[in-house]
């Protein structure tokens, strides 16, 4: 569904991604793992159009996304939940969700709102509240719910577990699985490799801008390097 | 502001505290002096009050443009005063033609609405062009660069109008229906001032509703808060920025006509002082904050109008009204030093890129 090949991204003269290739098939959860600075966030930012790769291919079902502005990429069905949530603090919860559906004007919006509220009942309780007053976990729910309002075919999740208590992380990951079961393809960037590989079908390991390992979740979990470096053994 | 007392008072702090104290003493002393002298009747005070509010409502309309653009781009559009001038000046020709043909007095309301539409449209065009030509190419340049471009654009517009229409004052025609006074419950109010105040308030409420209730307005607030996250929602950020310039400029154009109705003349340099005053009003209310700009404008107009006789007359200053700008800019300096976030400030702590 989503094909990336030989992607090169530079920050000024720093070569951040040195020819990344990866593939996300329809209906999959694919984990993108690796240490800080490996290029995970750079990769998803390139996919959503926030960064402009110098070379490479990004295709969504055969259509190139390269060089398109972020708003055009959302329209084509790729939604990005950025690192650090980035919800609109001064807007209400409901307004945040409405902004998620900004590109749409169809009758299905109300239905999708109910779907988001079903996934995250806390958001329904707090819909008139200003988003900046939500707890960290609620903010992450809002960030994911907001992205779902665009009814994306592919969801890019950047560090959804960041800064959350373990119990909340578990809850968020369960919801990610639910969202995937409802038909959304997911590319998941995570530092928490154990959790990510637990729900992912496949994974890629990035180090200093290149893919050093790729395989099914089971293969990665069994890999000695991965166990040592990311699973704390 | 920092909590608690500093361990040691630095010389700068001492000077600032001294400044604050001097201003406070002068204001209190002057006010007491004025009140004791009881030189002015209640009617005079009321006149100053109403004039201050109508003047302030014009400042508020212009201030909205500063504050909205700042909210999104963190940039002060110093050419905004000229956007205001361009609308009022261009609409003058229509108003003048309508006055000569007699339409202005025969059909005052449609004529005034036409003049208003011309003023708003011209300002909007100028505002949008400005964004396109002078600011958008500099979006990723260091912050000082667009500021310099703004000052350049400001001079360009002033001297373009001077070149086109000369450097003289042009007398704005005054429709008959706006001449004279209305009396409400024994209180007389100049018709022009009442109309200006009411029109400005309607316009501000309309803008506020637009920003708070419509999808585009919500998108503006989203872009103002986090441009990148807004882009990830599928919001075309460039289009929202242009819309913001357009809306702010339209408000300035409306303010231009109201200003011309009060002062009955236009001039190529007329945008400068109201522009700076409106900027002061925007800072006063907390720049980036829309209700703040409205409040700051009304407050500035009021203080500027009532302040001279209230604070300065009692100090024995002759012709205190000449010093109204001193009051306005002293307020600007005080706000910048002591409360840079303005009257309403930021409602939430927000990370700024």
| Tens of pLDDT, residues A88-127 | 999 999 999 999 999 999 999 999 999 999 999 999 999 9
Q: What is the pLDDT of residue B347?
A: 44
Cα(B175)–Cα(B98) distance, integer angstroms: 10
Listed as own residue / partner, the contacts of A43-46 with beta carbons closer than 8 Å and 24 or more positions apart are A43/A4, A43/A7, A43/A9, A43/A17, A43/A189, A43/A206, A44/A80, A44/A156, A44/A158, A44/A187, A44/A189, A45/A80, A46/A7, A46/A9, A46/A17
Minimal Cα–Cα distance from A202 to chain B, Å? 26
Taking 90 as the threshold, does the pLDDT of residue A214 lie above it? yes
Q: Report if residue B148 sits inside a domain.
A: yes
Minimal Cα–Cα distance from A227 to chain B, Å? 34
Q: Report if residue B250 sits inside a domain.
A: yes
Q: Do A80 and B235 touch (CB under 8 A)?
A: no
Nearest CB partner across the interface for A88, out of B226, B231, B234: B226
Residue B240 contacts A, CB cutoff 8 Å: no
Q: What is the pLDDT of residue B316?
A: 76
pLDDT above 70 covers a percentage of chain A that reads 100
Q: Which domain holds residue A163?
A: 2-86+156-229
Which of B224, B227, B234 would best serve as a mutation to test chain A binding (most A beta carbons within 10 A)? Answer: B234
Cα(A135)–Cα(A120) distance, integer angstroms: 13
Average pLDDT over residues A224-230: 85
Q: What is the pLDDT of residue B6?
A: 57
Minimal Cα–Cα distance from A130 to chain B, Å? 10
Taking 80 as the threshold, does the pLDDT of residue B346 lie above it? no
Average pLDDT over residues B228-243: 96
Beta bridge partners of A58: A4
Residue B235 contacts A, CB cutoff 8 Å: yes
Q: Report if residue B332 sits inside a domain.
A: no
Cα(B304)–Cα(B73) distance, integer angstroms: 30
Average pLDDT over residues A185-214: 94
Helix axes B290-307, B272-285, angle to 10 degrees: 120
If you count residue pairs, one on A and one on B, with CB atoms under 8 Å apart, how many are there?
75
Average pLDDT over residues B162-178: 88
Q: Report if residue B348 sits inside a domain.
A: no
Pairing relationship of beta strands A154-158 and A63-64 according to DSSP bridges: unpaired
Q: What is the pLDDT of residue B344?
A: 81
Q: What is the pLDDT of residue B281?
A: 94
Q: Report if residue A99 sits inside a domain.
A: no
Task: Find the closest chain A residue to B232 by CA distance.
Answer: A70
Q: What is the pLDDT of residue B349?
A: 39
Q: Do A91 and B222 touch (CB under 8 A)?
A: yes
| Tens of pLDDT, residues B74-126 | 899 999 999 999 999 999 999 999 999 988 888 888 999 999 999 999 999 99
Q: Report if residue B352 sits inside a domain.
A: no
Q: Report if residue B110 sits inside a domain.
A: yes
Task: Find the closest chain B residue to A156 by CA distance.
Answer: B232
Taking 70 as the threshold, does the pLDDT of residue B351 lie above it? no
| Tens of pLDDT, residues B1-57 | 455 555 677 888 888 888 888 888 888 888 888 888 877 787 788 888 989 999 999
Would you put residue A164 in left (φ > 0), alpha (ψ -120 to 50) or beta? Answer: beta
Taking 70 as the threshold, does the pLDDT of residue A164 lie above it? yes
Q: Report if residue B18 sits inside a domain.
A: no
Q: What is the pLDDT of residue B80?
A: 95
Average pLDDT, chain A: 94
| Tens of pLDDT, residues B282-319 | 999 998 899 999 999 999 999 999 888 888 877 777 77
Of A52, A153, A150, A138, the C-alpha closest to A87 is A138
Minimal Cα–Cα distance from A225 to chain B, Å? 35
Contacts of B231 in chain A (CB under 8 A): 49-50, 69-71
Per-residue confidence at B352, pLDDT binned at 50, 70, 90? very low
Dihedral (CA of B220, B221, B223, B229) sign: negative
Q: Which domain holds residue B154?
A: 58-286
Task: Find the closest chain B residue to A49 by CA distance.
Answer: B232
Minimal Cα–Cα distance from A56 to chain B, Å? 22
Contacts of B221 in chain A (CB under 8 A): 88, 90-91, 95
Taking 60 as the threshold, does the pLDDT of residue B271 lie above it? yes
Contacts of B136 in chain A (CB under 8 A): none
Structure tokens at B193: 């001032």
Average pLDDT over residues A132-148: 95
B window 148-207, beta carbon within 8 A of A: none
Q: Are A191 and A162 in contact (CB under 8 A)?
A: yes
Number of domains in chain A: 1
Q: Report if residue A118 sits inside a domain.
A: no
Q: Report if residue B76 sits inside a domain.
A: yes
Number of domains in chain B: 1
Task: Find the closest chain A residue to B216 by CA distance.
Answer: A102
Average pLDDT over residues B325-330: 88
B window 295-324, beta carbon within 8 A of A: none
Contacts of A75 in chain B (CB under 8 A): 234
Residue B346 contacts A, CB cutoff 8 Å: no
ipTM above 0.90, yes or no: yes
3-state SS record for chain B: CCCCCCCCCCHHHHHHHHHHHHHHHHHHHHHHHHHHHCCCCHHHHHHHHHHHHHHHHHHHHHHHHHHHHHHHHCCCCCCHHHHHHHHHHHHHHHHHHHHHHCHHHHCHHHHHHHHHHHHHHHHHHHHHHHHHHHHHHHCCCCCHHHHHHHHHHHHHHHHHHHHHHCCCCEECCCCHHHCCEEEECCEEEEHHHHHHHHHHHHHHHHHHHHHHHCHHHHHHHHHHHCHHHHHHCCCCHHHHHHHHHHHHHHHHHHHHHHHHHHHCEECCCCCHHHHHHHHHHHHHHCCCCHHHHHHHHHHHHHHHHHHHHHHHHHHCCCCHHHHHHHHHHHHHHHHHHHCCCCCCCCCCCCCCC
Q: Report if residue A47 sits inside a domain.
A: yes
Q: Report if residue A186 sits inside a domain.
A: yes
Q: Do B232 and A50 touch (CB under 8 A)?
A: yes
The CATH number covering residue A40 comes to: 3.40.50.300
Locus of tokens 């920025």: B241
Cα(A86)–Cα(A94) distance, integer angstroms: 15
Q: What is the pLDDT of residue B295?
A: 94
Contacts of A89 in chain B (CB under 8 A): 225, 348, 350
Q: Report if residue A10 sits inside a domain.
A: yes
């Amino acid at each position: 569904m989503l094909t990336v090949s030989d992607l090169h991204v530079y920050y000024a003269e720093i070569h951040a991604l040195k020819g990344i290739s990866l593939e996300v098939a329809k209906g999959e959860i694919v984990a993108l793992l690796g240490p800080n600075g490996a290029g995970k966030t750079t990769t998803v930012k390139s996919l959503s159009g926030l960064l402009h790769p110098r070379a490479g291919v990004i295709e969504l079902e055969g259509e190139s996304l390269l060089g398109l502005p972020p708003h055009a990429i959302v329209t084509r069905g790729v939604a990005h939940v950025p690192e650090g949530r980035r919800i609109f603090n001064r807007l209400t919860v409901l307004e945040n969700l409405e902004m998620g559906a900004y590109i749409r004007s169809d009758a299905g919006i109300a239905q999708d709102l109910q779907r988001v509220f079903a996934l995250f009942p806390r958001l329904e309780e707090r819909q008139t509240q200003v988003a900046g007053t939500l707890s960290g976990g609620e903010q992450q729910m809002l960030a994911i719910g907001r992205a779902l309002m665009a009814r994306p075919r592919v969801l890019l999740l950047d560090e959804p577990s960041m800064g959350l208590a373990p119990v909340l992380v578990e809850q968020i990951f369960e919801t990610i699985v639910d969202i995937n079961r409802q038909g959304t393809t997911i590319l998941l960037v995570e530092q928490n490799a154990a959790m990510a590989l637990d729900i992912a079908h496949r994974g890629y390991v990035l180090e200093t801008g290149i893919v050093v390992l790729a395989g099914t979740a089971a293969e990665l979990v069994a890999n000695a390097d991965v166990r040592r470096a990311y699973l704390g053994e | 502001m920092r909590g608690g007392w500093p361990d040691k008072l630095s010389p700068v702090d001492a000077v600032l505290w001294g400044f604050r104290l001097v201003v406070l003493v002068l204001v209190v002393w002057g006010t007491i002096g004025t009140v004791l002298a009881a030189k002015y009747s209640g009617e005079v005070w009321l006149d100053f009050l109403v004039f201050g509010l109508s003047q302030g409502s014009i400042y508020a309309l212009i201030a909205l443009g500063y504050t909205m653009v700042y909210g999104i781009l963190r940039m002060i559009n110093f050419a905004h005063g000229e956007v205001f001038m361009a609308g009022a000046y261009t609409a003058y020709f229509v108003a003048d033609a309508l006055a000569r043909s007699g339409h202005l007095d025969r059909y005052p309301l449609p004529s005034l609405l036409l003049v208003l539409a011309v003023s708003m449209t011209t300002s909007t065009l100028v505002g949008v062009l400005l964004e396109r030509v002078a600011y958008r190419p500099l979006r990723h340049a260091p912050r000082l660069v667009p500021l310099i471009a703004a000052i350049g654009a400001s001079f360009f517009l002033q001297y373009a109008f001077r070149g086109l229409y000369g450097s003289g004052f042009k007398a704005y025609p005054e429709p008959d229906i706006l001449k004279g006074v209305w009396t409400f419950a024994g209180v007389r109010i100049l018709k022009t001032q009442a109309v200006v105040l009411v029109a400005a308030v309607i316009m501000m409420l309309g803008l506020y509703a637009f920003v708070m209730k419509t999808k585009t307005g919500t998108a503006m607030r989203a872009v103002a808060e986090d441009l990148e996250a807004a882009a990830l929602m599928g919001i075309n950020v460039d289009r929202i920025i242009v819309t913001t310039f357009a809306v702010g400029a339209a408000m300035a154009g409306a303010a231009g006509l109201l200003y011309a109705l009060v002062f009955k003349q236009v001039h190529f340099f007329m945008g400068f002082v109201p522009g700076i005053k409106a900027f002061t009003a925007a800072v006063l209310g907390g720049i980036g904050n829309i209700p703040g700009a409205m409040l700051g404008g009304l407050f500035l107009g009021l203080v500027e109008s009532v302040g001279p006789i209230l604070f300065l007359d009692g100090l024995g200053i002759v012709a205190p009204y000449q010093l109204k700008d001193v009051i306005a800019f002293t307020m600007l300096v005080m706000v910048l030093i002591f409360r840079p976030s303005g009257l309403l400030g930021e409602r939430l702590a927000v990370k700024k890129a």
